[in-house]
Amino acid sequence: MKKTTTRLADGRELIYYDAEDTADAVVRDAVDRRPLEPVATHSELRHDRLLGDTVAIASHRQGRTYHPPADECPLCPSREGRLSEIPDTDYEVVVFENRFPSLAGGAGRCEVVCFTSDHDASFADLTEARARLVLDAWIDRTRELSQLPGVVQVFPFENRGREIGVTLGHPHGQIYGYPFVTPRTALMLRTLAEHRERTGRNLFDDVLADETADGRRIVLAADHWTAFVPHAAHWPYEVHLFPRRRVPDLLALDEDARAEFPRVYLELLRRFDRIFGPDQPPTPYISGWHQAPFGEPSRRDFGLHLELFTIRRTSGKLKYLAGSESGMGAFINDVPPEAAALRLREVASQ
């Protein structure tokens, strides 16, 4: 992998990632010629005294780009007469600082990850080689962001589909470097410690062993990865992808797991697009890597895993978070996890 770092006109960092087999022929020296003012964003972190969690107040995000036409997409490569966030005329994978970050002003960092220069593609359309390059970029950014002052947790994720709330149609994801441990991770750490205290065993190891032994909710089992619908899935179609060898974060994955990941993950995404039948639009989803916070005493017990889910519950119908879910955080799932797993096995690639 070749990594080329540059700066955009307003001072934000941009990084090109090119695969080894094409890197020698690529020169990344394009300059951002847009007349941008220096970045002046600020977010405020506020502590919720009742719940004990943290909320980021980021009013500047009200002005972010919202569903531009395809020929004005800021994530497509630049061309004569239309300059974008990416100065070059083509690229493989690009990461840059978000122009409208949720976390700013030294309180964390937000980055955009463009998976391909093809505006009309999706992650599921990538080759295995390109998906591996994205994985390598996630690993590199986890390493780099973990070294920034104040960043304690790194979360690479992708939102896909207007139903999810995506405002740019170009295939891309984001990476948040949080200056705090997120509520979901804090809850995992608490249950992890309680399980260790009660049983003397690791919770992530037990979950994977139990799902494997049960078998009904297994979606895909490979040499180094296992995908399953969790026993108490919150979402209609939800898959957790665990490496068979528990590691705390992406940095700790061995080469065998890294090499196998693209095939496994692309298969999962393609199955998601087939859940509701060939006449349905692409399935909206959220996909994110859950990694151990840096500096946590229980870091070595944490289990890296990817969570993938959709808010579509059946053809033409979405799962809305209403009173119980939004008001109390108590989920009600209309699709039995065993039925979801069965459907995801039925739509496997031939």
Report the domain count for the chain: 2
- What element of type H or E holds 220? strand 218-221
Residues 48, 50, 152, 145, CA torsion sign:
negative
Alpha-helical segments (H) within 251-330 = 255-272, 328
Poorest-pLDDT segment among 114-118, 218-222, 250-254, 323-327:
323-327
Residue that is last in its domain, among 178, 203, 237: 178
* 67 burial level (CB within 10 Å; 0-12, 13-18, 19+): exposed
pLDDT tens digits, one per residue of 175-227: 999 999 999 999 999 999 999 999 999 999 999 999 999 999 999 999 999 99
State whether 122 and 233 are in the same domain. no
pLDDT of amino acid 62: 64
State whether 202 and 165 are in the same domain. no
Residue that is last in its domain, among 178, 202, 237: 178
Neighbouring CB atoms inside 10 A of 234's CB total 16
pLDDT (average), residues 229-241 = 98
Residue keyed to tokens 């797993």: 341
pLDDT (average), residues 248-267 = 98
State whether 220 and 295 are in the same domain. yes
State whether 172 and 287 are in the same domain. no
Alpha-helical segments (H) within the chain = 20-23, 128-146, 183-199, 203-214, 255-272, 328, 337-346
State whether 67 and 51 are in the same domain. yes
**pTM of the entire structure?**
0.95
State whether 196 and 159 are in the same domain. no
Q: Which residues are annotated as a binding site?
A: 73, 76, 119, 170
Cα angle value 221/224/230 (rounded, 5°)? 50
Q: Is the pLDDT of residue 11 over 90?
A: yes
State whether 121 and 141 are in the same domain. yes
State whether 136 and 217 are in the same domain. no
Catalytic hit among 47, 60, 67, 172: 172
Instruction: Return the CATH number at 106.
Output: 3.30.428.10
Q: Which residues are annotated as a binding site for Zn(2+)?
A: 73, 76, 119, 170
Residue that is last in its domain, among 178, 213, 246: 178
For 286, the 3-state DSSP assignment is strand
State whether 195 and 253 are in the same domain. yes
- DSSP string covering 79-135: BTTB--SB-SS--SEEEEE-SS-SS-TTS-EEEEEE--S-TT--GGGS-HHHHHHHH
Domain that holds residue 311: 183-346
State whether 268 and 282 are in the same domain. yes
pLDDT tens digits, one per residue of 94-138: 999 999 899 987 789 999 999 999 999 999 999 999 999 999 999
State whether 211 and 173 are in the same domain. no
Based on the residue annotation, tell me whether 67 is a catalytic residue of this protein.
no
pLDDT of amino acid 120: 96
